[in-house]
Structure 1
């Protein structure tokens, strides 16, 4: 599976997504295009081009959503985002925007046993 977001300038996009994902891209196939394998066989592609504002959201599982929100506010200059919960939903989640208008988000499992099981599966 691949998911693609577009950015105006690939250098800026690569830097921003490198900070978001805390690592270098896994594949740079050609100019204007970089990819990260998020989990086996699931790729996030960042391509230079005209962004589609409001695209997404792409939500990434995290251990602590509040810590990650703080990190993104500091390191990527995003606006603080609200964290939501809903009865019957086993996660809390929040959504924010990258500098090009693509919607990105985080989610965190509420049940510690489920979090450990699911997060280990994805590691």
Structure 2
């Protein structure tokens, strides 16, 4: 039975990486177990680990669900100087999405449900499970 998950990205400088991801996630880490490693619990049971090391440039993207992708893009462009964040959509896909890179080449992104009722149901499902 799978009940939790983690995903790890690597950065060459943990201090800069922590600062960058704190800004992207808009909060401080939830767990710092040792030097060179920080973690955020994105949603209950789902952890993003940022570790000091050689980035895996070809991995990803890790996309996180948000309720306002345009607002998040504006915030990241302003606060993190992201310049490669284009938002896409296709008629047959129920979300719009965008992908960008951190300064170490890790591919990240956000997605937003087009159907706000479906989005609300997904959020309620996650909240009720906890």
The within-5 A match list for 1:48-59 is 48-59=52-63
- Say if 2:40 and 2:48, in contact at 8 Å, map to a contact too: yes
Equivalent residue number for residue 67 of structure 2 = 63
Matching of residue 29 in structure 1 with residue 41 in structure 2: no
Contact 1:69 1:80 in 2 (8 A): no
Mapped pair 1:76 → 2:80: yes
CA distance in 1, matches of 2:123, 2:76: 20
How many pairs were matched up? 123
Contact 2:84 2:101 in 1 (8 A): no
Partners of 2:58 and 2:103 in 1: CA distance: 11
Structure 1 stretches of 5 or more lacking a match? Answer: none
Partner of 1:117: 121
How far off is 1:80 after superposition?
A: 4.2
TM-score w.r.t. length of structure 1: 0.95
Shift of 1:116: 1.2
Please give the alpha-carbon distance, in whole angstroms, between the structure 2 residues aligned to 1:14 and 1:121.
Answer: 30
Question: Please, what TM-score do these two structures have when normalized by structure 2?
Answer: 0.90
* Contact 1:38–1:44 (Cα < 8 Å) also in 2: yes
Alpha-carbon distance between aligned partners in 1 of 2:115 and 2:52, rounded to the nearest angstrom: 39
Moved over 6 A (4+): none
Which one of 88, 91, 95 corresponds to residue 95 of structure 2?
Answer: 91
Q: What root-mean-square deviation, in Å, do the aligned CA atoms of Structure 1 and Structure 2 show?
A: 1.1
Pair 54,122 (structure 1): closer, same or farther in 2 beyond 3 Å: farther
- 1:13 paired with 2:17, answer yes
